[in-house]
Amino acid sequence: MKSFVEYSSNSDFSIHNIPFGVAVFNKEYIGCCTRIGDQVVDLASLYDLGYFEDITGLEDNVFEAYTLNEFIELGKPVTNAVRTKIQELLQEGSNLSKDQKTIEEAFYDLDKVRMIMPIHIPNYTDFYSSIEHATNVGKMFRDPANALLPNWKHLPVGYHGRASSIVISGTDINRPKGQTKPADSEKPIFGASKQLDFELEMAFIINKNTDMGESVSTKEAEDAIFGMVIFNDWSARDIQAWEYVPLGPFLGKNFGSSISPWVVTLEALAPFRTSSPVQDPEVLDYLKFEGDKNYDINLEVYLQPENGEENLIVESNYKFMYWNMTQQLAHHTINGCNLEVGDLYASGTISGSDPKSFGSMLELSWKGQNPIQLKNGQERKFIEDNDTVTMKAWAEKDGVRVGFGEVSGKIIPTL
C-alpha cells in the first residue's frame, strides 16, 4: 500500500497503522480521528461527507464524540471495517485522494490539533507480568535465591488501580507526598517522595461489556481487546515500600499514570506477533492458549533534565512479557468479574535480561546504589523535579513500521 499523503519512512503512523484518537480541532470542536504521517484526519467530517456509508452497523456518526468508547463498543466487525475503509481512502488513486475540498476540510497538520484522552476509562488494572522485572525486585527486597513469590509462575499477578488519575501525554505530574519510613528512622515521617520513579509499560483497552459471572477465555480475549497504548505508571517507591504490606500499592501508585494519545489496534500489530517465553511449570487449563500471543514492539525511555538534552536510558521490548494479554484477561475474568467498555489493563513494568532493558529507575540504579550518568554530568538515582520522561514504542518488520508515537510527562514540585 502507498498513500497519497507523504510521510517519512521512519514514521510510526504509516498507512499500515491507522490508529484512533480524539482531538480538539481548531481550538473549536472535539472529534474522533486517525493519523497518517503528520496529518490528523477528522473522521466525523468523513462520515458526514458519506465516506463510510457502505459500512454495515455504522448508522450513526459515533465520531462526533469526546471519546472512542461509543465507536469501539460497536465491535470488531464494524471497527475493523472502518479501519480497512480508511486504508483504502488513504491510498494513491482513491476517491478521497481526488477530493481536494474534503482534504482541506478534514485533514489537519499535527501542530494544529491538540490530542486529548482517547477513551473514558471506567476501571484500571495493573499487572506484574515481566519475569525479569519481578525477579529484579525480588532480589532487591527479598531473598535473591527465591526472588519470585510462590504464586508468580502460576497466575498473572495484578491489582486494581485508580482510573481517575490516568492522564494524557504532556500532562505535568505533581510529586506525590505521603508517609515514608527511612531506614534510619524509628517512626514514619511525612513529606514529598524522594524516590519517584517511572514504569515502562504497555496497556490494552476493552471494547465490550460483560455480565457479572461471565468469563472471557484466552480464545475469546482478542475479540474483546480493541488496541493498545504506551503506559507510564509513575511510582513513589519510598511511599510504596512503607504502605504496600499487606494489601499492595496505594498512595505510591494512584497519584498519576500517563498514556499515549493514539490507540493502535491489534489488527495493525498482527504482522509483529511472536512466540511467548516458555512457561514452566505448565499453567492451569484456563490459562493455556494457542498461537503467537506476544508482540515484537521496541520500547525506549528518555530522561530530559530541565533545560538539558534527552538521554536514552532504556531500550527494551514488549516481547519479553511472561504473561500475555489473553492470559491476563482470562485470569481477570475467571472469577466472574465483569468488563466495561474502555477498561484499561496495564502490563506492569517491562524489563529484559540486559541491564539496558530494565524498565524503571529502581532497577536501572539498583535501588539507588548505582546512579545513572546523564550527558550534562548530572546523575540520577530516581526522578527529580522538572525532569521529563518520554517513552516511545514501535514495531518494524519487512519494511512495514507501526508505532505508537510517545507518552511524555514532566514531574513538577509537590503542591
Q: Which three cell numbers stand for residue 383?
A: 526522578
Please, what's the b/e burial string for 218-257 (b: 16 or more CB within 10 A of its CB; e: otherwise)?
A: beebbebbbbbbbbbbbbbbbbbebbeeeebbebbbbbbb
Rounded to whole angstroms, the Cα distance separating 272 from 397 reads 7
- Among residues 133, 154, 331, 332, the one annotated as catalytic is 133
Q: Is residue 133 flagged as an active site residue?
A: yes
Rounded to whole angstroms, the Cα distance separating 119 from 65 reads 10
Q: CB of 165 within 8 A of CB of 252?
A: no
Residue with cell 460483560: 210
Q: What angle do CA 395, 400, 401 make, to 5 degrees?
A: 40
Q: CB of 234 within 8 A of CB of 222?
A: no
The catalytic residue positions are: 133
